[in-house]
Structure 1
């Protein structure tokens, strides 16, 4: 009994040791708060660096450390930690400048103390020094890095302080979060108004910027921003971006082109900025951009040649522009391009809940509704409320409190029909696209499927297309920006850390100015093989691999290898209650710190690999299944479990079974009959898998708040409700089903 009491006391003491003094008066008294925050940060720092609380990831450690040191007013050491953090984020001159606001605040505080001047004078001094010494190619990024949301950071700080009401102590995790929130507000509220004015003044010395309204033949008005470098007085090629995300990015895109010695032109889509027209995303880009290109090509500052660049929606815009190709458009550089109707707003014919969040983001006002879009708590609650309600997916906009005609119109087109086809090139349209193109995407890019759809269709219908692809370990941001040093918490190979900006404008120099072709473009497909620190170059996507492994849906306990076709047919039965909204999650335990969610999946595990293999390409194969309904949505994940017990997601695939053979025409399944579901349009990956690893294959049903729920009645899935669920979905996954894994062998 005494031993138990002793253990309890030790536990209580440990819990108490994790708490810090923080008076409740600091919540309501700003003077006390200003005094207490440095003290709190000084207490938290040793815990951050301790074995118990030290983050595994060096980036997370240094990121937290420099912020805490800054709150603690240890500006010298904070600057050193910030510099180290910047080096971790990128090994080239494009990286790490998202911390510029903190750096300026830090430097200004030091100058204020050392020279005994006002903070305002100190800030002006350090800003001028930084601007004048910054590489010119980084000047456009200053506006983005300094444009912190002061209003939102103040709101977040109040929320954090409210949690401390009537408390005189604070635990480590809460204290760390409070320090970071406090710094965001403190730094940006102190510097933003002044530095944005200083930046505007500096930019006026360097650039000529003109914003005007452009009337087009349809009677609509578009807002266009033109940016030129003052020293460039002769006509130049124009780099055009069509931007639905009206706001600070307009000037960024324009200035970026200007610093590379082009004219930057950024046009906003209908309904944005000064346009009072109806904003219907995607629908009018093709017709509008033909007129915009015609106009910019004829201006006195243009030499008649136009190129286009941009990512995501801005990548889609370029494919819309070549639907009807203007003679002045000489090249496009679509980055992480949305495949409209292909991977957004539905991926392989399954609509995503996110589409409503995005619609409101770009249509709530004339610019972009950043606060609403970033409100993850709000949107998660909307998706969850819909999911729990059992109402139709079509009711999601009403549940959000803001009915949307655009949302409803998109749902009216569940197949890849004429509505989507008319927005971008379709089939034979690709044969007429004879300008050079450079596509960039990434293994972790949300729009990889769309980007590769255009690439594949272009080469399919135009065998001589001069269309290059660069793909590597990049996410949606990295493949239109620069290769972040860490992606999904894991470091990428140094060879992959390239500047996508430098690549894109080297390409423009090559096409529009007769320069040298970028070194990396040794063949049509240029891909980085993760864990090898090398790039490979092949003529077509099929040559990314030269062999394959067929992973059959069978229990490894019943076979010597899951990669060998089973001798007799059997099946694994899965039951999913589509009515159940309180399903307890299940997990595959990888290690003490790592697990994989398997709630609606059947897990198949390979044997330990006895040699290294390089997986390169995307998953294909076929599922042989029988179900007791007319339809369902499959969900597939392939993981690597490394020898050190970590999991790495290699590829995913989802598809509506009734559209798996033809994304334009729905073909319902016959209940209780064995049907084939082909695996197409999965995510590409190229990575060396080390000897001693094993592969984990999850196949199952897509059922969660982030997507439509297919109840299998055969009705339009957007109209199905919980009443259509009927009996639980029963699936027989036959063991002659396989996922074909592409492998490259030297």
Structure 2
């Protein structure tokens, strides 16, 4: 399983051919042949370091637009070869580059630190070659997606468009816990040195439990100084500024095709980027953004079935064609209809249909509060927790014990590359440290599509702890399908730029960002919310001591109380689309 998922990410094999609709396949670059590959081309950066790139070109005279992919996952991967050939055969020059310190490129690899300026220099190199038209597009997913954003905010003059897939957000947006998540250690191990390390050399399931997190590299047996440095910066400080781009959308001056999946580990970044570019991007390109969201994991467009849920034959699209048409429109000026298409194309799970929209989130959305109710016994699937639009009055709070030695499991793959899907959470909901609030069966199709937010009024006996929330679609047969989830760490309840411990047994308001989903609840299905204090190993365990993050093995239990009365109306806000 590790090897299969790793190949999806490292090989950059996001695009697979399949059926597609509402496209004009005749209005695109014709396939030409042959091509020629120039391996190991040296591209000089402003500080004199020469990065290594493989250049795929049509083997004919002329000038061509350039498509640039900068990666830490090695430029000579099977995915680079596949995409290099594909785009070169359609009249583009494809440049696959090892980022600084990876593969054949010299220097030290420090994640994201050099990508902005190196990206700028690489774009301008592409634009000034004798084979170039001067128009440069970038492409890539995951790390390769974020490198594009860091490049774009540097404003290279010849950057013309981007296709950014499953791009990570700014620091702490996805995982607002201050310390890195345990499975991140596998990524730092993978990218140590210039080669891809063998993921099978370590037992990642066991390593997730290692404490303190700071020294997990010792347990792995590989020095990872970049991993250790993270623990010197457990809240937002100047260290993280080099990785920021979401506060600089006004500096991005190009059309962007934003692509992700509802079950992408880093899903939240893509909708945020689309919103940021359509509201804060350079005015000239605000109407030239497109959002594409499928029922996919981090390895987008790779499968129509995740776990026990099959999203049907239309879940896989011809993404190669989609990307080619985008580049044809913006790099070659082909009038293929791309610029007049709806700016949002999303897959509605449950009904398993693609729909076109004109904005995200949709302006017609009705944000509806569903309140938590119980008589103080919402513990587990067998408790009396209810979810409804009725306002709470005088109700007993719910209580549970959070023991970091026995955290609530988050159903996940044993790999850094995919953390969770539409899994059945009934086994987890049998635990007494999971509060379960379930609504009545819906009587009509109910579309929940957009950002999911949870407001929680809670107290703890600890000076720091976590609270988690999960949105579930309960099928008529009881299958409990996870849709989205989120976490808040008490010390960061006011933001990631400062730490403030809590007073034990004092009620605080917590806001949990449970990301986005797009699900049609069919008649007979029920909406459910889970509340707990851990989701391991997706998030690191809070040890409940209030001590420095990641540096201790000491832990203690916490008694948690969730309030839902007239003064403390804990609720989930759902985006209901009429």
Moved more, 293-302 or 411-420: 411-420
**Which whole-Å CA distance do the structure 2 matches of 1:586 and 1:206 have between them?**
47
CA displacement 1:446-476 (0-9 Å, x = unmatched): 1112223333333342374232211121111
CA displacement 1:425-445 (0-9 Å, x = unmatched): 252x21121211110111011
**Which whole-Å CA distance do the structure 1 matches of 2:503 and 2:447 have between them?**
39
**Which whole-Å CA distance do the structure 1 matches of 2:235 and 2:321 have between them?**
38
Q: CA deviation at 1:659?
A: 2.2
Alignment of 1:588-627 (within 5 A): 595-598=426-429, 599=431, 600-627=433-460
The residue that corresponds to 2:23 in the other structure is none
Answering whether residue 403 of structure 2 is matched by residue 572 of structure 1, we say no
Question: Residues 700 and 558 from structure 1, CA distance in 2 versus in 1: closer, same or farther, beyond 3 angstroms?
Answer: closer
**Which whole-Å CA distance do the structure 2 matches of 1:522 and 1:483 have between them?**
24
Moved more, 289-298 or 705-714: 705-714
**Which whole-Å CA distance do the structure 2 matches of 1:448 and 1:137 have between them?**
33
Aligned partner (choices 289, 294, 299) of residue 477 of structure 1: 299
Alignment of 1:420-459 (within 5 A): 420-427=240-247, 429-459=248-278
Judge conservation of contact 2:19–2:314 (CA < 8 Å) in 1.
no
Q: Whose RCO is larger (CA < 8 A, sep 6+)? A: 2
The residue that corresponds to 1:513 in the other structure is 332
Moved more, 328-337 or 448-457: 448-457
Question: SS where residue 608 of structure 1 aligns?
Answer: coil
The residue that corresponds to 1:665 in the other structure is 498
**Which whole-Å CA distance do the structure 2 matches of 1:223 and 1:569 have between them?**
65
Question: SS where residue 679 of structure 1 aligns?
Answer: strand
Judge conservation of contact 1:221–1:277 (CA < 8 Å) in 2.
no
**Which whole-Å CA distance do the structure 1 matches of 2:153 and 2:371 have between them?**
42
Aligned partner (choices 358, 374, 379) of residue 204 of structure 2: 379
Judge conservation of contact 1:243–1:250 (CA < 8 Å) in 2.
no
Q: CA deviation at 1:743?
A: 1.1
Alignment of 1:233-248 (within 5 A): 233-246=61-74, 247-248=76-77
The residue that corresponds to 2:19 in the other structure is 92
Question: Residues 361 and 343 from structure 1, CA distance in 2 versus in 1: closer, same or farther, beyond 3 angstroms?
Answer: farther
Question: SS where residue 293 of structure 1 aligns?
Answer: helix
The residue that corresponds to 1:62 in the other structure is none
**Which whole-Å CA distance do the structure 2 matches of 1:284 and 1:618 have between them?**
32
Alignment of 1:133-212 (within 5 A): 206-212=35-41
The residue that corresponds to 2:7 in the other structure is none
Structure 1: stretches of 5+ with no match in the other structure: 1-88, 94-135, 140-202, 588-592
**Which whole-Å CA distance do the structure 2 matches of 1:406 and 1:260 have between them?**
40
Question: Residues 253 and 668 from structure 1, CA distance in 2 versus in 1: closer, same or farther, beyond 3 angstroms?
Answer: farther
**Which whole-Å CA distance do the structure 1 matches of 2:471 and 2:410 have between them?**
17
Alignment of 1:52-91 (within 5 A): 91=18
Question: SS where residue 638 of structure 1 aligns?
Answer: strand
Q: CA deviation at 1:695?
A: 2.2
Question: Residues 547 and 453 from structure 1, CA distance in 2 versus in 1: closer, same or farther, beyond 3 angstroms?
Answer: closer
The residue that corresponds to 1:491 in the other structure is 310
**Which whole-Å CA distance do the structure 1 matches of 2:389 and 2:275 have between them?**
29
Alignment of 1:259-270 (within 5 A): 259-270=89-100
Return the TM-score normalized by structure 2: 0.83
Judge conservation of contact 2:179–2:230 (CA < 8 Å) in 1.
no
**Which whole-Å CA distance do the structure 2 matches of 1:517 and 1:448 have between them?**
29
Q: CA deviation at 1:353?
A: 1.0
**Which whole-Å CA distance do the structure 1 matches of 2:365 and 2:44 have between them?**
53
**Which whole-Å CA distance do the structure 2 matches of 1:290 and 1:298 have between them?**
13
Question: SS where residue 271 of structure 2 aligns?
Answer: helix
**Which whole-Å CA distance do the structure 2 matches of 1:673 and 1:584 have between them?**
24
Answering whether residue 183 of structure 2 is matched by residue 354 of structure 1, we say yes
Question: Residues 706 and 534 from structure 1, CA distance in 2 versus in 1: closer, same or farther, beyond 3 angstroms?
Answer: closer
**Which whole-Å CA distance do the structure 2 matches of 1:272 and 1:559 have between them?**
52
Question: SS where residue 475 of structure 1 aligns?
Answer: coil
Aligned partner (choices 556, 559, 562) of residue 730 of structure 1: 559
**Which whole-Å CA distance do the structure 2 matches of 1:485 and 1:298 have between them?**
42
The residue that corresponds to 1:525 in the other structure is 344
Answering whether residue 56 of structure 2 is matched by residue 227 of structure 1, we say yes
CA RMSD of aligned residues (A): 3.0
Aligned partner (choices 214, 225, 233) of residue 413 of structure 1: 233
Alignment of 1:39-54 (within 5 A): none
The residue that corresponds to 1:336 in the other structure is 166
**Which whole-Å CA distance do the structure 2 matches of 1:291 and 1:586 have between them?**
42
Aligned partner (choices 467, 471, 487) of residue 638 of structure 1: 471
Judge conservation of contact 2:447–2:518 (CA < 8 Å) in 1.
yes
Judge conservation of contact 2:372–2:387 (CA < 8 Å) in 1.
no
Question: Residues 451 and 549 from structure 1, CA distance in 2 versus in 1: closer, same or farther, beyond 3 angstroms?
Answer: same
Answering whether residue 152 of structure 2 is matched by residue 304 of structure 1, we say no
The residue that corresponds to 2:489 in the other structure is 656
Q: CA deviation at 1:421?
A: 2.5
Answering whether residue 39 of structure 2 is matched by residue 213 of structure 1, we say no
Answering whether residue 537 of structure 2 is matched by residue 718 of structure 1, we say no
Alignment of 1:666-745 (within 5 A): 666-680=499-513, 682-702=514-534, 704-705=536-537, 707-722=539-554, 725-726=555-556, 728-735=557-564, 736-745=569-578
Q: CA deviation at 1:254?
A: 2.2
Question: SS where residue 288 of structure 1 aligns?
Answer: helix
Return the TM-score normalized by structure 1: 0.65
Question: Residues 708 and 491 from structure 1, CA distance in 2 versus in 1: closer, same or farther, beyond 3 angstroms?
Answer: closer
Alignment length (residue pairs)? 525
The residue that corresponds to 1:145 in the other structure is none
Question: SS where residue 547 of structure 2 aligns?
Answer: coil
Aligned partner (choices 382, 386, 401) of residue 221 of structure 2: 401
**Which whole-Å CA distance do the structure 1 matches of 2:483 and 2:577 have between them?**
15
Judge conservation of contact 1:350–1:656 (CA < 8 Å) in 2.
no
Structure (1 or 2) with the greater helix fraction: 1
**Which whole-Å CA distance do the structure 2 matches of 1:554 and 1:350 have between them?**
33
Question: SS where residue 615 of structure 1 aligns?
Answer: strand
Judge conservation of contact 2:36–2:56 (CA < 8 Å) in 1.
yes
**Which whole-Å CA distance do the structure 2 matches of 1:520 and 1:495 have between them?**
23
Structure 2: stretches of 5+ with no match in the other structure: 1-15, 21-28, 412-423
CA displacement 1:102-135 (0-9 Å, x = unmatched): xxxxxxxxxxxxxxxxxxxxxxxxxxxxxxxxxx
**Which whole-Å CA distance do the structure 2 matches of 1:503 and 1:535 have between them?**
14
Q: CA deviation at 1:675?
A: 0.6
Judge conservation of contact 1:235–1:302 (CA < 8 Å) in 2.
yes
**Which whole-Å CA distance do the structure 1 matches of 2:144 and 2:409 have between them?**
38
> If you compute each CA radius of gyration, which structure gives the higher value, 1 or 2?
1
Question: SS where residue 568 of structure 1 aligns?
Answer: coil
Question: Residues 457 and 217 from structure 1, CA distance in 2 versus in 1: closer, same or farther, beyond 3 angstroms?
Answer: same
Judge conservation of contact 1:469–1:526 (CA < 8 Å) in 2.
yes
Moved more, 253-262 or 554-563: 554-563
**Which whole-Å CA distance do the structure 1 matches of 2:408 and 2:249 have between them?**
48
